[in-house]
């Protein structure tokens, strides 16, 4: 039986999925998508596939992938989705299909506890807080008893705990085969299992870090892979850009200084020159950070170089790093750790010099300022050429899928970004009945989005909608400043009007905890920015309204975007229509996608931005959204919620415990 026939049989009404999975319902869109993927795998093609929310794209690619009989790499957008695939979806499909495939998961090395660094940390006893010191016995017990060493399995130590930096390895500080714990290494064991497995689950950051750096184990996997599947593929252009460029951060220099000082104290106390070379580099890094006044700033290289003391501070970093590296070279033969520190110094020195010269035409240089550090970026204007080499290295199937890849079913923007000009493209609408389940409200009388009064107008529009929805809403903002302003205005208005809905804001705690609180309240309002536009799944009535402040155009002062716009305009292209608008559409579709998550969901999407109606390109945007019923009248929003809330009780209960059938 051909792969296509096997896939068709599996999804049929009497097929293995319906027979073995409680609540599974085969959907025409899902079956068609699975068949298209089977064909691409069979013919070793590139396929770009957009499938609306609810299509069940996870099973649509897992079934043909598992039945294909070849080696498959599946790359996801987040570690959360990676864990879900590995722990839940893959075992369920494998069991249903009764296929004897072996499955492994591979994460970046920072996710695995390192025996060597754990031992060093416990012996040296230098911790940032008392809590970090208290975590060490828990980590030691975990390292002794865990099969995987994956920190996701250790819930007693929070993911944000600073101790993780001391007990995991990085590409820079791993001593490799010289390590006394090499045979017990969790990273090496994970790679070994991945090499032996039929299906390997990775994430985008890991995939591209490896393709570029040959560091994380994927490079060894790729030659034998028959199929590569990218889920949440809309994230790829940005992630690929991070790795096809060249970056260096002052925190890398500070880490080298810290590790050199530790090596001096524990290995070469007779080398006073090493101890003397560390403080000047640390001071040079701190002085360089002080050149910049604001954290969160992103600026092109020209603007940064014009700042007072930039050149002197940069030169001082180069000189002090060169001095430390020379001293490390004299001690490198005495210990693998010292040799590794010397090699790191050489690499960092080369990166600092290369960034200063900026010889590459395709790379745009820019600076990003954080609270404690400065990151120097050299980002490619296009990843299409670099990624294209991977695509054509040897015959295999490449599958790119997401709910948001096209602008009005047109994939040109995405294909151009990723170098997928020869790819097949397919699009499937969501099976949800948006006309009945959802309403798009674009309020009248909004000011221009760049006006000073805009945030106040958004809060004023949101208030009666939130009263009608009884809370149960996300308010998504396109900037952190707008998020804080809208949150403050809503807080004041809630107090004035006696509205007792819990009001949450991104940043008050981590995303998982905030979402748990949001779901538990059942009537909360969460004001968020970038973190909540995608990858968030709240089913049922707890989320019945999504309010978006502005169309999410990338900020025009972003250094990389500005350089891309200049390049496109110079080439005679229309950068706004060909780049900025598609980017905004894809991001907006992600935000709008938070609202309707299954067949029994209902709700209102509010887009406050008047450009959706007033500008000629607005039509192109709303035609790319799901086919919601549309209105500009508040009373229609209020009537919608009244109608929804009058549903008989059993429907509401079913929604509360909504099950994602036909995933």
Q: What is the pLDDT of residues 161-195, one digit of tens each?
A: 889 988 999 877 888 888 899 999 999 999 899 88
What pLDDT score does 598 carry? Answer: 82
Q: How far apart are CA 206 and CA 218, in angstroms?
A: 8
Give the helix/strand (H/E) hosting 320: helix 310-331
Q: Is the pLDDT of residue 216 over 70?
A: no
CB 255 within 8 A of CB 344: no
Give CA separation, 557 vs 90, 193, 366, 497, 568, in Å: 43, 45, 12, 39, 16
pLDDT tier for residue 99 given thresholds of 50, 70 and 90: very high
Average pLDDT value for residue range 461-485: 94
Q: Which residue has the higher pLDDT, 370 or 220?
A: 370
CB 217 within 8 A of CB 199: no
CB 493 within 8 A of CB 463: yes
What pLDDT score does 124 carry? Answer: 79
Exposed, middle or buried, 410 (CB in 10 Å: 0-12/13-18/19+)?
Answer: middle
The neighbour count for residue 265, using CB atoms within 10 Å, is 13
Average pLDDT value for residue range 9-31: 89
The neighbour count for residue 129, using CB atoms within 10 Å, is 11
Give the helix/strand (H/E) hosting 440: strand 438-441
What pLDDT score does 465 carry? Answer: 96
Q: Is the pLDDT of residue 663 over 70?
A: no
What pLDDT score does 369 carry? Answer: 94
What pLDDT score does 361 carry? Answer: 75
What pLDDT score does 219 carry? Answer: 61
SS3 443: coil
What pLDDT score does 572 carry? Answer: 93
What pLDDT score does 540 carry? Answer: 84
What pLDDT score does 213 carry? Answer: 59
Residues above pLDDT 70, as percent of the chain: 96
The residue count of the chain comes to 663
pLDDT averaged over the chain?
Answer: 89
What pLDDT score does 494 carry? Answer: 94
CB 327 within 8 A of CB 277: yes
Question: At the top level of CATH, which class does the domain 3-102+197-242+383-428 belong to?
Answer: alpha beta
pLDDT tier for residue 528 given thresholds of 50, 70 and 90: very high
CB 319 within 8 A of CB 287: no
Q: Is the pLDDT of residue 446 over 90?
A: yes
pLDDT tier for residue 647 given thresholds of 50, 70 and 90: low
Q: How far apart are CA 494 and CA 500, in angstroms?
A: 7
Average pLDDT value for residue range 65-93: 91
Q: What is the pLDDT of residues 534-561, one digit of tens each?
A: 878 888 888 999 999 999 998 877 898 8
Q: How far apart are CA 367 and CA 376, in angstroms?
A: 5
Residue extent(s) of CATH 1.10.275 domains in the chain: 246-380
The position carrying tokens 């060169």 is: 322
Q: Is the pLDDT of residue 211 over 80?
A: no
What pLDDT score does 463 carry? Answer: 96
pLDDT tier for residue 217 given thresholds of 50, 70 and 90: low
Q: Is the pLDDT of residue 649 over 80?
A: no
Residues with Cβ within 8 Å of 116's Cβ and at least 6 positions away in sequence, in order, are: 169, 175, 179, 180, 181
Say which CATH topology domain 434-656 has: Rossmann fold (3.40.50)
Q: What is the pLDDT of residues 111-167, one digit of tens each?
A: 999 999 999 888 877 787 888 888 999 999 999 999 999 998 888 888 778 899 889
Q: Is the pLDDT of residue 309 over 90?
A: yes
Residues with Cβ within 8 Å of 452's Cβ and at least 6 positions away in sequence, in order, are: none
pLDDT tier for residue 650 given thresholds of 50, 70 and 90: very low
Whole-structure pTM value: 0.85
Residue extent(s) of CATH 3.40.50.300 domains in the chain: 3-102+197-242+383-428, 434-656
Average pLDDT value for residue range 354-381: 89
Complete DSSP assignment for 633-660: -HHHHHHHHHHHHTS-HHHHHHHHT---
Residues above pLDDT 90, as percent of the chain: 60
Q: What is the pLDDT of residues 255-272, one digit of tens each?
A: 999 989 988 988 899 999
The neighbour count for residue 305, using CB atoms within 10 Å, is 14
Q: How far apart are CA 134 and CA 163, in angstroms?
A: 10
Q: Is the pLDDT of residue 654 over 60?
A: no
Say which CATH topology domain 246-380 has: Fumarase C; Chain B, domain 1 (1.10.275)
Q: Is the pLDDT of residue 577 over 70?
A: yes
């Amino acid at each position: 039986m051909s792969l296509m026939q096997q896939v068709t049989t599996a999804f049929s009404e009497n097929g293995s999925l319906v027979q073995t999975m409680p609540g599974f319902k085969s959907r025409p869109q899902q079956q068609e998508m699975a068949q298209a993927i089977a064909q691409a795998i069979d013919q070793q093609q590139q396929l770009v596939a957009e499938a609306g929310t609810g299509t069940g794209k996870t099973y649509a690619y897992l079934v043909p992938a598992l039945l294909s009989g070849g080696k498959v790499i599946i790359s996801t957008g987040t570690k959360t989705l990676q864990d879900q695939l590995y722990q839940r979806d893959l075992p369920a499909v494998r069991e249903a299909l009764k296929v004897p495939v072996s499955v492994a998961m591979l994460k970046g090395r920072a996710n695995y506890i390192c025996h060597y660094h754990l031992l060093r940390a416990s012996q040296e006893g230098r911790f940032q807080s008392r809590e970090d010191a208290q975590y060490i016995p828990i980590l030691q017990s975990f390292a002794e008893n865990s099969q995987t060493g994956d920190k996701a399995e250790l819930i007693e130590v929070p993911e944000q705990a600073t101790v993780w930096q001391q007990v995991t390895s990085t590409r820079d500080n791993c001593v490799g085969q010289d390590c006394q714990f090499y045979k017990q290494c969790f990273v090496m064991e994970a790679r070994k299992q991945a090499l032996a497995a039929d299906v390997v689950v990775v994430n985008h950051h890991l995939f591209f870090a490896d393709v570029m750096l040959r560091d994380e184990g994927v490079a060894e996997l790729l030659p034998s892979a028959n199929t590569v599947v990218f889920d949440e593929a809309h994230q790829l252009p940005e992630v690929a850009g991070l790795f096809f460029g060249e970056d260096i951060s002052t925190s890398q220099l500070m880490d080298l200084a810290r590790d050199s000082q530790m090596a001096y104290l524990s290995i070469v106390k007779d080398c006073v020159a090493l101890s003397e070379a560390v403080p000047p580099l640390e001071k040079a890094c701190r002085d360089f950070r002080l050149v910049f006044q604001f954290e969160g700033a992103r600026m092109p290289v020209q603007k940064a170089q014009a700042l007072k003391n930039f050149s002197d501070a940069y030169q001082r970093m180069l000189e002090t790093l060169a001095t430390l590296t020379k001293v490390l070279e004299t001690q490198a033969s005495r210990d693998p750790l010292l040799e590794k520190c010397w090699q790191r110094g050489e690499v960092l020195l080369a990166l600092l010099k290369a960034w200063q010269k900026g010889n590459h035409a395709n790379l745009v240089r820019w600076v990003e300022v954080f609270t404690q550090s400065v990151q120097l970026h050299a980002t490619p204007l296009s990843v299409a050429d670099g990624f294209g080499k991977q695509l054509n290295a040897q015959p295999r199937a490449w599958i790119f899928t997401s709910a948001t890849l096209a602008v009005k079913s047109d994939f040109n923007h995405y294909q151009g970004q990723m170098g997928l000009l020869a790819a097949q493209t397919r699009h499937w609408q969501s099976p949800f009945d948006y006309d009945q389940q959802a309403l798009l409200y674009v309020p009248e009388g909004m000011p221009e989005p760049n006006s000073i009064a805009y945030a106040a107008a958004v809060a004023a529009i949101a208030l009666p909608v939130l009263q009608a929805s009884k809370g149960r809403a996300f308010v998504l903002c396109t900037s952190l400043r707008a998020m804080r302003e809208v949150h403050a205005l809503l807080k004041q208005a809630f107090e004035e009007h006696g509205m007792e809905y819990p009001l949450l804001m991104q940043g008050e705690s981590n995303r998982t905890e905030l979402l748990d609180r949001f779901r538990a309240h059942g009537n909360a309002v969460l004001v968020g920015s970038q973190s909540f536009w995608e990858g968030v799944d709240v089913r049922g009535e707890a989320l019945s309204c999504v309010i978006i402040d502005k169309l999410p155009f990338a900020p025009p002062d972003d250094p990389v975007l500005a350089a891309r716009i200049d390049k496109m305009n110079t080439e005679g292209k229309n950068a706004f229509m060909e780049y900025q608008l598609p980017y905004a559409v894809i991001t907006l579709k992600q935000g709008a996608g938070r609202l309707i998550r299954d067949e029994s969901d209902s709700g209102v999407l509010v887009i406050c931005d008047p450009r959706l109606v007033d500008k000629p390109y607005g039509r192109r945007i709303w035609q790319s959204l799901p086919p919601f019923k549309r209105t500009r009248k508040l009373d229609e929003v209020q009537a919608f919620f009244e109608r929804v809330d009058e549903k008989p009780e059993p429907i509401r209960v079913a929604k509360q415990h909504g099950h994602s059938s036909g995933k």
